[in-house]
Structure 1
Amino acid sequence: MNPWFAKFRSDERGVAALEMAIVTPLLAGLVLASYALWDTASRRQDERAALNVGVQYYFHGGGDDTMASQLILNAWQRRPVDSTLNLTRTCMCETVPLACNSLCSGGAPPSVYVKMQLTANDPKALTNPEVVDSRVVRVR
């Protein structure tokens, strides 16, 4: 065996630097992936919390869809510019859709449901930038 290679093989200087050079990119990748997942989860939580504000508004007797929209949009922290909120009212007699100004067969007013749907395309989200989330609440 070459004496130079034997000397090189027995020299342990720089082993820690080599290990650090191998481990550092892996740790950096793990940190970046963790941040991306946390950021995405945080943004989704903001959206869900905003929808829950709308649900609470209706649960506590609110009936104005414009007011509900404003409350939801104001509660949505870090709302992307490219986002929409749609509120849709549906009236039902049991399982049959009906016009909201009509009465059910027994003369009772129909049940009124409001569907709140958020749609967003968030380029700042590192993973899954497109979001569609909705809630349906019975108003009466």
Structure 2
Amino acid sequence: MERRSTPILGDEAGVAAVEFALVLPILCLVLLGILDGWSYVTSSLSMRAGVKTAANLVMSGSAIDAVTQAVAISSWENRPEDGQVTLSRTYMCGTTVV
């Protein structure tokens, strides 16, 4: 006569579900971190594109700061409502500020 016993600690039913329940919160935090980081990167790239457009305008000889600032703001895609562009010029002759 063969006796089969299934001890409580030897039963492996549901182990995968428990492991998944332990790992799922970590995976969710990683996913949210990636999404937040991606949002920051795309916002930064969008802002830099607007600033680069304004810098190219200045390098091509634009002397009207209000126009250059307006171009920078209009080139900034998905600009937040409180997003601002400040333009300042420094003229130098060699290492001397003029």
Question: Normalized against structure 1, the TM-score is what?
Answer: 0.59
1:34 aligns with 2:34: yes
| Segments of 4+ moved more than 6 angstroms | none
- Structure showing greater Rg: 2
Q: Greater helix percent: which structure? A: 2
Counterparts of 2:93 and 2:10 in 1: how far apart (Å)?
Answer: 86
1:91 aligns with 2:91: yes
Number of the residue aligned with 1:73: 73
For structure 1, which runs of at least 5 residues remain unmatched after alignment? 1-5, 99-140
- Distance change (3 Å), C-alpha of 1:82 and 1:55: same
Counterparts of 2:69 and 2:21 in 1: how far apart (Å)?
Answer: 52
- For these two proteins, the number of residue pairs brought into alignment is 93
Q: Greater strand percent: which structure? A: 1
Number of the residue aligned with 2:20: 20
Counterparts of 1:72 and 1:14 in 2: how far apart (Å)?
Answer: 58
Query: Which range moved further: 80-89 or 9-18?
Result: 80-89
Identity %: 29
Q: Is the 8 A contact 2:73 2:84 kept in 1?
A: no
Question: Normalized against structure 2, the TM-score is what?
Answer: 0.80
Higher relative CO (Cα under 8 Å, sequence separation at least 6) belongs to 1
**SS of structure 1 residue aligned to 2:45:** helix
Over aligned residues, Cα RMSD in angstroms?
1.7
